[in-house]
Amino acid sequence: MLEKNPQFHVSLRGDELLASPRFNKGTGFTLEERKAFGLVGRLPCKVNTLDEQCKRAYAQYQSRDSPIRKNSFLQSLKEQNWVLYYSLISRHLREMVPIIYTPTEAEAISDYSHLFRRSEGLYLTLKDQESMEEDFLEQIKDRDVDLVVCSDAEAILGIGDQGVGGIGISTAKSVIYTLIGGMDPSKSLSVTLDVGTNNEDLLNDDLYVGWNHERVRGEEYDQFVDKFVQLVRKHLPCSLLHFEDFGVTNAQRLLQKYRPTHSVFNDDIQGTGAVTLACVMAAVGITKTKLSDQRYIIFGAGSAGMGITHQLRDAIVQLNDGISESQANKLFYLIDKDGLITQDLISSTGTS
């Protein structure tokens, strides 16, 4: 968690300090700090308060004429000055969360290769997995990491397979942990697991910066993911591993596989499901009915939809004596892109 008034001992000076987003304070450096760190002459003479810096940054933000331009501005600000970035968004949380997260971040992710400027996390590619541990250790060297957010980018924010652009959702989710949960951003690690992509637009894009290969599945995929998870367990045993935007065929399966051995969380399944369950329980409390009295239509049978279904179903079984899991299942109707999901549809499409 973030300390209220932390003090740091840093060896950076001059331009190196100004280039560090974690420690750079821009015109917020005091006169004493400027002398101590060799910043006199590298900054304008005026010392600004954080409120003044936020006022200036907000005016710059407002001058951008579209959500994606506002997203790009905030991304650039984060790469320069963490304190100003998080302070600005905290002051305008309701306005800016839709810019740094859904829905605007989806547009930024879909155009990631064309907007790319600099690295923003750990990129692990299946074809380069021989050096995975070395790459992993290089990223966490001299760091105290409490949170690892990873995605294979198969089901990004309702826009589907986005390949290496999935790093954008991992970093965006890490930002939410800081803004809402108080997580120290220096203690989070954002990861994309690049196992290829089935997005034809990306595969045919000469500027695509990820692995230009069809998405790998099956045993080879499982071995790659397991290798990564075992590195987290080995080197960051006390961390939380957050799975983000995995496809429906993998999300629940991976969650169940690793829950017994590490602290893991899937927001699409558990977070969305918990929030929905709380809302429905509040509603039945007002109407003086039971969860088992309702009929549920789930519009979208992806990871989030199935997470909602499982949480509601399990609550019905636990709160209503005599109702079995199979009986509770009959209260739900799932609608996906092919329409109402029936046993015949499952058989014809080969889905489970």
Q: Which residues are catalytic?
A: 101, 173
Quickly tell me which residue has 């695509």 as its tokens.
208
Nearest alpha carbon to residue 331 among 309, 305, 306, 303: 309
Distance between CA 90 and CA 97 in Å, rounded?
A: 9
**b (16+ CB within 10 A) / e for 341-352:** beeeeeeeeeee
Q: What are phi and psi of 43, to 5 degrees?
A: -135, 155
DSSP 103: T
Q: What are phi and psi of 101, to 5 degrees?
A: -130, -150
Element (H, E) at 339: strand 339-340
DSSP line for 247-273: -HHHHHHHHHHHTTTS-EEEIIIIIHH
Helix (H, G, I), strand (E, B) or coil at 1: coil
Beta bridge partners of 332: 296
Please measure the distance between the N-terminal and C-terminal CA atoms of the chain and give it in whole angstroms: 40
DSSP line for 190-228: EEEEE-----HHHHT-TT--S--SPPP-HHHHHHHHHHH
Distance between CA 163 and CA 212 in Å, rounded?
A: 9
Q: What are phi and psi of 298, to 5 degrees?
A: -105, 110
DSSP line for 122-159: EEEEGGGGGGHHHHHHHHHTT----EEEEE--SSBTTT
Whole-number Cα distances in Å, 45 to 26, 27, 76, 146, 346: 11, 8, 24, 38, 68
Beta bridge partners of 139: none
